[in-house]
Structure 1
Amino acid sequence: MTASSAPVPANEFERLMGLSEFDIDYSDHKNTFNDLARLAAKVAGTRISLVNLIDSFTQWTISNHGLDTDQILRTDSVCQYTIMNADSFEVTDLSADDRFKDKDYVTGDPNVRYYYGVPLKTGSGLPIGALCVLDQERVFLDPEKVELLKIIADEIVSRLKTIKIMEALKTKLLEAKQSQRKVAHDIRGPLGGIVGLAQIIKDQGESNQMDEVLEFINLIHKSGNSILDLAEEILDSNRDKRAVVSPNGADSSRFDLTVFKDKLEKLYGPQARHKQVVFSVNITPLTANISFSKNKLLQITGNLISNAIKFTPPLKSVTVDLGLLLHVDKPTLRIRVKDEGVGMDSNGVSAILLGKAASTEGTDGEEGYGFGLALVKHLISSLNGQISIVSEPGKGAAFVVELPQKIY
């Protein structure tokens, strides 16, 4: 099968953008949707139900019932066909379908035969994944059950939206607390000066000279103006924050390099092990516990890692280096994804940086969809970051991303 035979929605880039807007940590929501996954299986009368989200390379199972699974390659999934359909997708016997009959989940445990999937759609109709039910035997779903599955699918998307809103509110609350601490610190100085000068005037009583009193009043006036200026600055800052936060739903909750490393190892280690690629993540110890926003970081880095694994032969390595550079004027997160894969020439590098790269097969024939790196470039630009690539044919590739950060 060639890359061109992979089912790709006509609006694939917009679909991936819609998924990235949720900025989902695929490892964090096992319990968030368990009740809905269980309910879907109950409604359909099946042994298995999965809540799947599909990015450019991987199908992520964010919740499951009856089958303990976290992820599979998108090319191995059935749900990749569900997102191609406006309504639903059904396969009555996977073992009799040439697209699926040789898949591990059909030929081995759990030996599934029946599949029914409902696309998970955003408010604008973009399919970001699927709610699916599976069983070892043929299942017959009447219209009422189908309608209930669609209602459950809508509720899953509603919860994803709620999670996004809650993350935005948590970020605003954190920023408000930080502003409170800053205000308390910045106002303490001018107020202390005013109180001190007033105390001097009081203590000197009738011995105050008029020119001294005028000088004290002048100093008090300056201190009072500095407080007013600070108040105006705070109000302007809050107005700017509101303008920036509304369109995109704000930053996600913050985390540090240690948490970042753990999440990358948990999410992408299985992909590397599946292909027998040596995968490692390194962090700078001195800044390992300094908190910053995780806004879009898992989306950006995850796509780069999946791409690196795709083009790296078995027994070779993919290494991720994470560092927080504490420049006084602009703290910067530096992400370096280095592989020992097939590499590319200068034309290939230029095509990626210009957003014109075409999809190619990986070293094990993995199919591509051609939008992962384009999404990465778009997200980096939206965060005012930069990306650079160093590569030669046969000598692997190194992708370096630098993103300005707000340190917490």
Structure 2
Amino acid sequence: MSELNYPVPYNEPERLLKLSDFDIDYGSMNESFKDLTHLAAKVAGTEISLVNLIDAYTQWTVGSHGLDLQQMTREESVCQYTITQTDQFEVPDLSADDRFNKNFYVGAPLSLRYYFGVPLRDNDGLNIGALCVLDRGLKILSPEKIELLKIIALEIMNRVKTYQTMELLQNKLKDASESKKKVAHDIRGPIAGIIGLSEIITEQGKSANFDQVIEFIKLIHSGSKSLLDLADDILSDNDEVKAPGINEFDLSSFRAKLLELYEPQATYKKIKLNININPDKKNIVFSKNKLLQINGNLISNAVKFTPPGGTITVDLDLVFKRDANILKIVVADSGVGISEDEIGQILTGGIGTTQGTAGEKGYGFGLSLVKHLIDKLNGEMFITSEKGRGTVFRIELPQRQS
């Protein structure tokens, strides 16, 4: 890596918090933007168009046309410069620009030359990423084309906000479902009492030969029994094992998603990423709220500070307690380790920019964001480390019981 001074937006902490608020699964949105990336490439007359979101460590390509790309390090990206702008960012020739001409996309086989990017800005003026167009040939975009690209960028942000709204609605529906189950719990007791009473009266009625009374009480019994069966159906959902919904993971799906998103980073640096789960609890569902942001930043940080040939191990488990289930996450690396002073800074919400094992220059906010998100979820984080031998992050997050 070169010794460039990488750009950081002046509002970087707020920007990262905003991106985490959207709580995006970076591996699941390509279809949402396929038409817009195709349109952007057509408007610009370029071979390639990308929708990129940039977190503390990584540029995630969540929509693409003309190039199969999922991610790259933030240090390698051109869009890291675009998110520092209020309007646009253009590089007429990437091969002639010392900031970019050593990066993989400038050399063969891609041999990209032209870049033009527009920030993806929310209503508070925070740039969470960029819409960009690229080409192997040199280009000049007219003012009209530039304005059309900005309109497309606005529509991309509208879709991101719609995605977030849908997630919130799904959460509200889940809350409504939980309320329905609570009601069912509340009515089971009285209904069971009615059934028990009607059974006693029925027996007494038979001995007294009150035929009409018996028939009437049998009707009450039948109706009450039906309500009790209905309550049981509501409580059980008729499923012994509930599959994860749109806002949920189980341990198996959580592991698969982390491998999908972060194994390429580890492989690129020749690091082994192991993710283990408790097989006895692999199908128990829990909220996915902010889990990708928390775990993603921890894994990316571990990749940054672990030398090639090293190992990162993630252990995932659920512990059942009376008041709440606890999701336990352990991220351990064989990296350079951190000092007691640095651990104190992380746990109090602040850590400075540091250099990775391959010369990667950090942006200084990833672990602060992790601590902030864990605190908001009423969780706890514990850190142990030994210089030169690695670091272990232990996370405990309470989960609402289903």
| TMscore range, shorter length | 0.7 to 0.9
Report the more deviating stretch, 137-146 or 33-42: 137-146
Kindly report which structure 2 residues correspond to 1:305-344, keeping only aligned pairs within 5 A, or say none: 305-344=299-338
Q: Does 1:259 align with 2:253?
A: yes
Per-residue Cα deviation, 1:49-107 (whole angstroms, up to 9, x for no partner): 00000000000000100000000000000000000110000011111111011111001
Amino acid at match of 2:347: L
The 8 Å contact of residues 52 and 62 in structure 2, kept in 1 or not, is answered as yes
Q: Does 1:85 align with 2:79?
A: no
TM-score, normalization by structure 2: 0.87
Amino acid at match of 2:306: T
Q: Residue 268 of structure 1 aligns with which residue? A: 262
The 8 Å contact of residues 4 and 99 in structure 2, kept in 1 or not, is answered as no
Q: Residue 149 of structure 1 aligns with which residue? A: 149
Amino acid at match of 1:294: K
Q: Return closer, same or farther for 1:146/1:345 CA change in 2, 3 Å cut-off.
A: same
Q: Residue 181 of structure 2 aligns with which residue? A: 181
Q: Return closer, same or farther for 1:391/1:3 CA change in 2, 3 Å cut-off.
A: farther
RMSD: 2.0
Q: Distance in 2 between matches of 1:178 and 1:16?
A: 32
349, 352, 364: which one aligns with 2:346: 352
The 8 Å contact of residues 18 and 126 in structure 1, kept in 2 or not, is answered as yes
Kindly report which structure 2 residues correspond to 1:216-295, keeping only aligned pairs within 5 A, or say none: 253-295=247-289
Q: Residue 34 of structure 1 aligns with which residue? A: 34
Q: Residue 381 of structure 2 aligns with which residue? A: 387
How far is 1:179 from its partner? 2.8
Per-residue Cα deviation, 1:381-407 (whole angstroms, up to 9, x for no partner): 000000010001111000011000023
Amino acid at match of 2:294: I
Amino acid at match of 1:142: S
The 8 Å contact of residues 314 and 330 in structure 2, kept in 1 or not, is answered as yes
Q: Distance in 2 between matches of 1:373 and 1:367?
A: 14
The 8 Å contact of residues 16 and 55 in structure 2, kept in 1 or not, is answered as yes
TM-score, normalization by structure 1: 0.86
Per the alignment, in what secondary structure is the counterpart of residue 56 of structure 1?
coil
Q: Distance in 1 between matches of 2:3 and 2:365?
A: 13
Matched positions, count: 366
Q: Distance in 2 between matches of 1:91 and 1:300?
A: 33
Amino acid at match of 1:100: F
Q: Distance in 2 between matches of 1:12 and 1:313?
A: 27
How far is 1:195 from its partner? 4.8
Amino acid at match of 2:291: L
How far is 1:252 from its partner? 7.2
Gaps of 5+ in 2: 209-244
Per-residue Cα deviation, 1:206-252 (whole angstroms, up to 9, x for no partner): x99xxxxxxxxxxxxxxxxxxxxxxxxxxxxxxxxxxxxxxxxxx97
Amino acid at match of 1:257: L
Q: Residue 302 of structure 1 aligns with which residue? A: 296
How far is 1:188 from its partner? 2.3
Q: Distance in 2 between matches of 1:81 and 1:94?
A: 13
How far is 1:120 from its partner? 0.3
Q: Residue 17 of structure 1 aligns with which residue? A: 17
How far is 1:283 from its partner? 0.5
Q: Return closer, same or farther for 1:282/1:83 CA change in 2, 3 Å cut-off.
A: same
Q: Distance in 1 between matches of 2:246 and 2:287?
A: 6
Q: Distance in 2 between matches of 1:174 and 1:350?
A: 38
The 8 Å contact of residues 341 and 397 in structure 1, kept in 2 or not, is answered as yes
Report the more deviating stretch, 189-198 or 122-131: 189-198
Structure 1 residue runs of 4 or more that deviate by more than 6 Å after TM superposition: 1-4
Q: Distance in 2 between matches of 1:71 and 1:278?
A: 18
How far is 1:202 from its partner? 7.7
Q: Residue 358 of structure 2 aligns with which residue? A: 364
The 8 Å contact of residues 319 and 325 in structure 2, kept in 1 or not, is answered as yes
Q: Distance in 2 between matches of 1:174 and 1:392?
A: 43
Amino acid at match of 1:50: L
Per-residue Cα deviation, 1:322-348 (whole angstroms, up to 9, x for no partner): 111111222100111000001122112
Gaps of 5+ in 1: 209-250
Per the alignment, in what secondary structure is the counterpart of residue 117 of structure 1?
strand
Per the alignment, in what secondary structure is the counterpart of residue 28 of structure 1?
coil
